[in-house]
Structure 1
Amino acid sequence: MGAKHMLSSMFKGLLAILIFIVISSIVLSLILRFTSATEQSLKWVTLALSLISMFAGGFLTGKKAQVKGWMLGAGTSLMFSMLVFLVQYLGYQTTFNSMQYLHHGLFMLLCMIGGIMGVNFSSHSTYKK
């Protein structure tokens, strides 16, 4: 398994995460706009959607790579966290706070679990007896 293939798998997982987050953001902003819901009332929904997107991105990474799901899931999560950090630091001149470190740690854990499950659900995993 080449490094190029693994990196390609991680970028596909990252792209899936970003697409899922953009779609979720649009739906949540429409809910906020056209209902009486507040940002505070959707706080847990936002976190749940973030966790689902990280798991799905890790799953896709593992499924595409078919090897080393935990490592590639962690790499995908690190790429996402680095992207968020760069946007936050360069755009808003702030760094992560303790709650964000906790969230990104949880993101990494779920992305790694998704990667492991993605490898196990990939089509290559047939055992001969």
Structure 2
Amino acid sequence: MGTAVLYGVGVIFILIILFSFIFSMILRFTSVTEHSLTYIIMALSFMTLFIGGFVSGGKGKKQGLLLGSGTGVLYVLIILMFQYLGHDSLFSLKQWIHQGCFIVTAMMGGVLGVNMSSSQT
């Protein structure tokens, strides 16, 4: 189960790095502002967490709710450590709500990942 969670978190961070690169290029070379991309970035964040949970559930092949929640919680803990250790601040209430929704989204991805992997076998 641990390797499945690590695969899911790895996929999340790979996708985040990819999307960050794409959006940084868009912001650098066009006249688009960061404010105009807020909802697109938020939607892609949820999609990324869902995909990470899906990969985790597909890799584990059982207990998708647990795998997805483990993936989401590990992701949130890494982000919390980065923000606390790197920026010396904790999450705001709005960020806690976003992180909670990220965990729920990863859980849904984990459940669907298990169901999709079990239907293929």
TM over 0.5: yes
Q: Which residue number corresponds to residue 29 of structure 2?
A: 34
Give structure 2 stretches of 5+ with no counterpart: none
Q: Higher helix proportion, which one?
A: 2
| 1:126 shift after superposition | 6.6
Give the TM-score normalised by structure 1. 0.91
Q: Which residue number corresponds to residue 3 of structure 1?
A: none
SS in structure 2 at match of 1:42: helix
| 1:57 shift after superposition | 0.2
- Max radius of gyration: which structure? 1
Measured in 2, the distance between the counterparts of 1:31 and 1:94 equals 29
Q: May I ask how many residue pairs the two structures share in their alignment?
A: 121
Segments ≥4 residues shifted beyond 6 Å: none
Measured in 2, the distance between the counterparts of 1:85 and 1:116 equals 25
Task: Pick one of 83, 86, 93 that aligns with 2:88.
Answer: 93
- Calculate percent identity across the aligned residue pairs: 40
Give structure 1 stretches of 5+ with no counterpart: 1-5
SS in structure 2 at match of 1:37: coil
Please provide the CA RMSD for this pair.
1.2
| 1:111 shift after superposition | 0.3
| 1:17 shift after superposition | 0.2
Give the TM-score normalised by structure 2. 0.97
Aligned letter for 1:61? S
| 1:45 shift after superposition | 1.0
